[in-house]
Structure 1
């Protein structure tokens, strides 16, 4: 169909002719109708264009929105991954630090156990020296520090699972461990000082006893060592120097104890403490014959019936009447040493009795070849009479040291 022409008449109309081949059709339309149709067509065209533009730009906007959403999601994922990495690093760091704290606590526990062993060793050494005549000081070395974290190492941290909020507790645990370490250092220092004090006293005591032996002109006892053995177990490096020194001090103490035991059987005391010597050892005028004679001992003044005491530990070799000695007691102290107590009015022991220093042997008298109550006192070495003063002078050295 084709529009052949448009014509107007008197009325505001327009004629539209449609050509359909051999047939033509004419339609008359008012002009305002044509205008309305034209506007409608224009609006329809504009809508079509708008719809087409919407369809075209809608996909673009949606694509951009999707791209932005994906980018934001990736950003969030990156932040989450970074936080996870930081948390993992923090967890790893806390685990490592916790292991370090536990290791430190274990080390402190081992040190505490070592110091307690030293405390026992020092106590033994101090007890061994309690009888050496030296004043025993307040044993500062027996201090024992037992920090609470050593019994509960896990309590030093916030928990088994580390967290970012546990830093103050961890720092507190480290600070506590440092304080414990400082306390153990102080104890160790005091123990070392105490060991040296024991060593100093033992050395001084040994030197004193050596002077006593030398003054008494007696051989010093030889160091004796018993059988020893057992499996080898190496000591921690930290303990070596202390234990070596403690072994040296123990050996010194053993020597002192041996010297002490030896002197226990040396007649270093008088038979009647406080009494004076009335006649010396050696050549003198015989009180009965009035001529020079050998006096084999010392005479001590004494009141009749006064106790006569043993001057050293030993065994009663004889007890009874013995010629010019009158009633006499002889004590065998071992090592060739013996003592005799004569002119007794009474005898308080029997042959074979064991006596200690100060044991009462009898009473002052004037039996036998005697001019009056006194104590005739002899010291003999391998049966030969020697001057008792050499032993008494040695005893004075020992007394001054105490």
Structure 2
């Protein structure tokens, strides 16, 4: 075999290896160079690494897949727990909102009931307040209790409607507007303010009613006191004389029981106004007016020297200086029982006022009424003159009770005092 030249690689002699393959008569040889060995070695290494990696993957794949599935399961479980927690939180919030809404609706219903109660009171109060105002009943001066607002006399509570703000619809709107804010505390504050406003209105109504009751009672007491000093009692005069106002009756039925302070106050006001009306009706029927306003008194009731006989005699009335033709007025409401000539009285008018009270107007120059006429207080009954036993033009005025003459000055004085209470 011939020698081949040596190859030098990077300054070194490169060794070559020859591989001889013999197969029968055929002989083959293959020269293996270093780079070919390196390449082969590299491929072998790569194959070995790949094989080992594949084997490792196949061995560890189940563990990796199991770990991945476990991780996914844990993540899914965490997500489900989170979703459950969120759902529970949403349920709590929803439940709280429903509870708050229910509370709000209950409070609105309560406010509506209070509003309707005040509105119902309006019907009860309106008639009484109008009756009190038309009757001239004034409010008494009241001192407010501690923590209570003073009552203003000029302001009418209007029973429940006019000063009532908000109305039922506005109350509900305010309440639901508060609920829409989703702030329970603010809703509670709003409801508290509205409730306090309703309470203030209720107190104002009660104070107004109690003030009117006190005023009506004071006025009735004052009129009754004047009547008693004059010799009359309201209960006596109301039951006597067959007055149509006293014609009452019916089966006995237990009275309705007052359910609250408002009902008691309403009943008290009604009783006070009835007392006041009865006292005023009695006072209007009695002769408390002046038959000759503006005229001076020339002779009073009692013993005096008779102008014709010159000796002591009873003067059964009082004389008013009135020139002939002066209009003479009835001192009270009643029915004419005498209208014409009557002895020493001359032309005389006698009026029956009921309760045993009569008045006489004597020495008239002309009579303007006839027997049976009904006259009211201050109606003209005749013209002054000097007819009958008279020394000059004047009015002789008498007041008699059960036919007995009494001093008319008691009635005139009482009438001046009653003027304040009769408007």
Query: Per the shorter chain, which TM-score range?
Result: 0.7 to 0.9
Alignment match, 1:196: 210
Aligned equivalent of 2:287, options 262, 267, 271: 267
Say which SS state the counterpart of residue 85 (structure 1) adopts: helix
Kept in 2: contact 1:312–1:333 (CA 8 A):
yes
The whole-number CA distance in structure 2 between the counterparts of 1:339 and 1:69 is: 119
Alignment match, 1:211: 225
Alignment match, 1:85: 88
Aligned 1:126-275 pairs, distance under 5 A: 126-130=129-133, 132=135, 134-135=137-138, 137-142=153-158, 143-147=162-166, 150=169, 153=172, 156-157=175-176, 166-168=181-183, 173-221=187-235, 240-275=260-295
Summarize the Cα distance change of 1:234–1:335 in structure 2 as closer, same or farther, 3 Å threshold.
closer
Say which SS state the counterpart of residue 273 (structure 1) adopts: coil
Alignment match, 1:377: 397
Alignment match, 2:104: 101
The whole-number CA distance in structure 2 between the counterparts of 1:202 and 1:275 is: 34
Kept in 2: contact 1:108–1:150 (CA 8 A):
no
The whole-number CA distance in structure 1 between the counterparts of 2:167 and 2:417 is: 51
Summarize the Cα distance change of 1:276–1:72 in structure 2 as closer, same or farther, 3 Å threshold.
same
For this pair of structures, how many residues does the alignment match? 378
Summarize the Cα distance change of 1:395–1:38 in structure 2 as closer, same or farther, 3 Å threshold.
closer
Summarize the Cα distance change of 1:347–1:148 in structure 2 as closer, same or farther, 3 Å threshold.
closer
Say which SS state the counterpart of residue 235 (structure 2) adopts: coil
Shift of 1:90: 1.4
Kept in 1: contact 2:108–2:175 (CA 8 A):
no
Shift of 1:256: 1.2
The whole-number CA distance in structure 1 between the counterparts of 2:22 and 2:187 is: 105
Is 2:364 aligned against 1:344? yes
Aligned equivalent of 1:325, options 340, 345, 348: 345
What RMSD in Å do the two structures reach over aligned CA positions?
3.6
The whole-number CA distance in structure 2 between the counterparts of 1:228 and 1:157 is: 52
Report the TM-score when normalising by structure 1.
0.81
Residues 62-113 of structure 1 show CA distances to partners (whole Å, capped at 9, x for unaligned) of: 2222222222222222222222222222122112211221221222222223
Shift of 1:58: 2.3
Alignment match, 1:73: 76
Moved more, 215-224 or 68-77: 215-224
Residues 242-294 of structure 1 show CA distances to partners (whole Å, capped at 9, x for unaligned) of: 22022112111111111111111111122111222211223222211112222
Alignment match, 2:10: none
Moved more, 344-353 or 174-183: 174-183
Alignment match, 1:3: none
The whole-number CA distance in structure 2 between the counterparts of 1:351 and 1:304 is: 23
Kept in 1: contact 2:138–2:216 (CA 8 A):
no
The gaps in structure 1 that reach 5 residues or longer are 1-10, 18-26
The whole-number CA distance in structure 2 between the counterparts of 1:295 and 1:262 is: 28
Say which SS state the counterpart of residue 157 (structure 2) adopts: helix
The whole-number CA distance in structure 2 between the counterparts of 1:29 and 1:154 is: 110
Kept in 2: contact 1:119–1:141 (CA 8 A):
no
The gaps in structure 2 that reach 5 residues or longer are 1-16, 140-152, 239-245
Kept in 2: contact 1:272–1:300 (CA 8 A):
yes
The whole-number CA distance in structure 1 between the counterparts of 2:164 and 2:45 is: 103
Is 2:114 aligned against 1:111? yes
Kept in 2: contact 1:149–1:155 (CA 8 A):
no
The whole-number CA distance in structure 1 between the counterparts of 2:288 and 2:322 is: 19
Summarize the Cα distance change of 1:262–1:158 in structure 2 as closer, same or farther, 3 Å threshold.
closer
The whole-number CA distance in structure 2 between the counterparts of 1:79 and 1:251 is: 73
Shift of 1:47: 3.1
The whole-number CA distance in structure 2 between the counterparts of 1:156 and 1:110 is: 14
Say which SS state the counterpart of residue 385 (structure 2) adopts: coil
Residues 187-244 of structure 1 show CA distances to partners (whole Å, capped at 9, x for unaligned) of: 2222122122212211211221121111111123268786599999987x6xx11220
Say which SS state the counterpart of residue 129 (structure 1) adopts: helix
Summarize the Cα distance change of 1:335–1:188 in structure 2 as closer, same or farther, 3 Å threshold.
same
Summarize the Cα distance change of 1:166–1:65 in structure 2 as closer, same or farther, 3 Å threshold.
farther
